[in-house]
Structure formats: C-alpha cells, structure tokens
Structure 1
C-alpha cells in the first residue's frame, strides 16, 4: 500500500490538484484520529485534511487558534467542520504567533508533525492529530510518516524546478526524467521545451511520433487533431485530456495524456487564495495502456449496466483491438461486435472508440 502512496506522491509533480487525493489517502493509511498535509508559500496557505466532527472543530478552534477570525471563516466555509478538503488563506494573514503552531501541529491537545521541506519559498509538513478518546500514537504511524516524508520532499522539489527553472533546459530535463512514460513539456506556442530520456529513446523506434520544427507531429491524423485540440484546451482552461492513438502495424496503441502544468497551486486554490497569474506549460505523456484488472468486466457491468458480452467488447477496445480482431477473439460476426459497441458507446456516453478506450483506461488507472 505504501508503494501505491509513493506513486501518488510523484503524480503531484505535474498535477498539484492531486494533493487533495493524496491527503485523503494519508487519512486512510494512518491510524491517528486525523492526518493533514500542510503546504505554505509566501502568498498562500494550503491545508488538506478529512472532515473532523463539529465537537473536535470547537476543540481545535479553542485550544489552537483561540477563535481567530480567519479560523472562523474556515469553519463557516466548511459547514461547521474544521479542515475539510482544501482550506486556505494568505500565509501572511495568519498571526505571526500562530504560524509555528499551524505548521508544526503543536499546542493542540495532542499532535505531532514532521517537517518535509523548509525553504524561503515553501514550507510543508505531514501532521498527525489524536483525539482524547484514542490511545497513544501507534509506532507504525511514525514509521509511515518518516518513510513518506523524503518522497514528498523530492516531489515538492521537482515542482519548484518546474515553476522556477522552466527556461533552464538541462535542469528541466533532469526533473522530467522522473516522470514515467515518454514525456514532453510543451509551451503555449506548442513548442517542445524539454523531453525526457525515454521520449528520446522511444521516439527513434516509434514511427508514429515525429518532431518537426520543434513540435510533436503524430502520423495518425485523427490522433494529431486530438492532440492539437487537447493542447489548446489545456493551455486555455486547464482541462486535461486522455485518448488512445494507433501506431504502426503490429505495435500496441499508446495512451496519450495531456495535463497543464500549473507552476503554483491548483487553479481553484489560486483563485481563492489570491496570487499572480502564471505562464502555463503542458505535460504530454505517451504510455502503453495498463493491463486491466481481472474484475474490470464485472465492474463495467455493474457501473454502466452493460451485458457481459458488451463489457468484454469494451475491455477489448480499451486494450487497443479493432472490431475485426474482437470478432475473431469472441467468435462472433463483425456485425455483432458493432452492435455490442454501439450499445456500449451509448451506455458509457462516449462518441468514439478512442474516447471509450481512454475512459476505461482512466477508470482503472492506479490511483
């Protein structure tokens, strides 16, 4: 389980919106009454933690923040629960006497924290809180917290590299070598700013991906149009995209993911907490579709009311098979497969096979 959590930590490098998911996973993994992920920058404060009961909220407010105005605003904003999801304010607005307490989770009736990183531009910690009704903190929580802290520090450091050194090609390429898959960073003019070593090595062997005049060109015209549209939408609005592209005969299809790289906190947090707009870059990754779990078909049957044969068809599409290949695998006529596929597209609200494949891959991607 900790290995999965480490993987999710590194996913925050390119998508800080996933910090909220990470905070929830921490809550599930640790046995204390509550856990929090705390990140503070000069102009914003980002605190993520699962809901705490109103009774505990009152205790936190009285014992730690003593009814400060900014904390009362948190309580109102989160429907009388303290620290639910994203909570933020300008760090400079927190009274100086309390900043240490907030970041270290000290002076509560019982809490402890490990400082992950502490630089002039960024402070972060993982914190544990224990209610009065609980026994002492468990040793396993200490061990997990100390195990995860170095990984989180590395991920946050990589985020700073992206944000502050985006024009230093060497340092940027060193950073993106840690991202799995063939990875490119694209600027607002669709030019390649950097690519990782895997992208350089694989591109030479994959005739489906070309680089022309510093830009990515996909030989599959349909996929290339999707890439151009996805880049435009990602840069303009931050909406990510995932689609499947076909490659040369005999080669497995590739899953293409397009995600805007926000150099500050996630856009929603920036809007609420304030702070200047940043120039956005886009991360484009090409990866082979992940093997789907054995229970994938039964999940689709339950979630989308597919028949068993429709679910099997959907799984084959997600693995990159053509309708002809599916008909051969299932031992049915091509017209039957097309009938299954038409029904699946309608039930899963997808317009194209590639959209369906990407949706299923995303549905079962490791979280």
Structure 2
C-alpha cells in the first residue's frame, strides 16, 4: 500500500476556510477540498439526511463524479454498512468521530455489495467520519443532521490514530461553522419573506439601523424616493435622505426614541411620514448618552385610503379589536359623539378607547392620530422634531 502524499494545509488555513463559508453557499466546496487535503483523503462528502430519514442528499462532495454522488443519494445510502454500524454503535450522535475500520473490518466491508458495486467506483476503502449534527440534538432545530465523511482509496493506508485525534479537535469548529451557516441561510430566507411582505403593502416602508443607515426598503418607498416631487427630502438609493432635511432629523431623532409624524410637501403633492422606534433605548450609558434604537419609517400618500396602513398600525401598536374599530371613523374625521352613535356605545366608552389609542400610539389628540394614519382632510402642523425648524 502507498500513502497519499499531497501537501497538507495547516490548521489555521482549515479554520479560515471553514469560517469563511459561514455566510456563503458556494464556499463549502472549497472547505471540503481543504479538509480533504488536511486529512490526506482521496475523496470526501458533507452528507445531509432529512428529518424523516428516508432519503439522503449531498450538500457538497469532493472528488466524486456526479453519477457516483447521485447513485449514493438515490439508492446506496440505504445499504451503507458504515452508516449502519455507526448507528448501531451510537457514532451518529453529534460530535462523535469514528474510523471505518473501527466500525467493521476491511474483510467484512469487502464482502458487501456496497463495496463491490459502489465503493470500488469511487474508489474508496477507508473512512473517517465526524457527525456534526444529529436528529435528536437541540441544534437539529437550527441545522439539519449532517456528517463529514473522508475516504481513502484501497491502495492508501488507513486513517491513523493521529488523524482521529485531529478530527476530534476540529469537530467543534465543524459543528459551530455549519450551525452558523444554517442560521445564516434561515435568516436569508426570513429576510426574503419579510421583503416580499413589505412589497405587498400599499404605502412606503423603510427600516434604518441605530446609526440611521438604511437596512430595507419596499417597492412603494423606492418609487417615492425616485419621484422628483420630493427631491428636497430624498437622494437616489442607497443614500435615501438629504442630509440636514427635516426627514433626516426625524429619523435620527427616532433613533433616540423620539419618533413622530411629519408632513412632506412636494411641488404639487404631499406625503405623510411617520417614524417609529422599533426597539426603544435601553439603559443610560454614561448619564448622558442613551443607547440608540432602529427605526421604521412609513410614507403614506394622503390621497389614498390607507387600508393597509391602518391594519399595519393596529398590529404595530397592538391595538385591541374594540380600539381598532374606531380607526376608520377617526380617518373620516368623526367626533367622539358621532362615533358613539354609529357604534351604539356610550360616549364615555369611546373616550376611554380613544385615550387608550392615544397612549399606545404616542399621540395626544385626534388630529395627531389622523396625521399618523394619513388622513385626507387638512392637517395641522405637527410639533417640530428639531427645535427652530418649521415643517412645510
């Protein structure tokens, strides 16, 4: 037998490749190639199994032809004697490392059809296995059951005790990087759903981080930003706002927990902007400086009945069913007495519900709430966000 004589990368190179792949899908092929060289393996695969355990799929493989990989995925995984022995010996538990020759002898392996009809096609005879996630672990909710498999050809020496020791030392990093990668994949999927939901709204929505940097913008907001009518407030994406404009002051004031409404006047049109702190400031840092918060900025065209905006405000401010019933009536500028008559309630009940709505939305009177909802009637000037600056 002969030993493979490839140049093995250092552990630092392996770790750099591993953690560089956390936020990238295509980098895992490079990770597997680097790991193959590190363990002097002829071929390797990062193998996933679904939660029903009725099918296996490759996440990525190294030095395996597509037909061979497909043959394992479609058929041979059911008859893998290494996998069966590992399950029997509890070597498929998270963070377990196993050597193929410790699971069953080479003689036993060679007597199987799996060896004769499949492994010789790779070719492979020696295995080094690390289970980084299993079906029963708490982490399986965040990442699928998976294992790294490193193989050597029949004319190579078996993996040594030193190889097993190195893989045991490396396995916590394999587990951590893979878990972080699947968390990244999950967050990307959630962001996609979130963005599609925002694009379905009939008013503009922008999100900013605590420094005022834009994180997300929906389709309607993009159209508003590109409209020359409001060039005094907006810059082309990704810069968003004119520095020093009232809208810029509003967003930055909201990062300090001081959100509110703003009437934006264009050449022939107007918009209603409302900034809401997404997470209110926390503790005082040094008796003066307060931790900042992210911002949600809504842009509503007052010429349109903001049905989605009302629904969005109900959910954002967690208004009760009773409180949400009076919002359309507020939009139509009805008085509390008219609301009581229309809903068949006492005026004291209406006033109590209005007080609750004002408290939850941070407003103090009906006209401010109408401004917040994007009402069509003439709107009184809101209290300026920045001292000594008027609102147009």
TM band (smaller chain): 0.3 to 0.5
Which structure carries more relative contact order (alpha carbon 8 Å, separation 6+)?
Answer: 1
More strand by share: 1
Per the normalisation by structure 1, the TM-score is 0.35
Larger radius of gyration: 2
More helix by share: 1
Per the normalisation by structure 2, the TM-score is 0.33
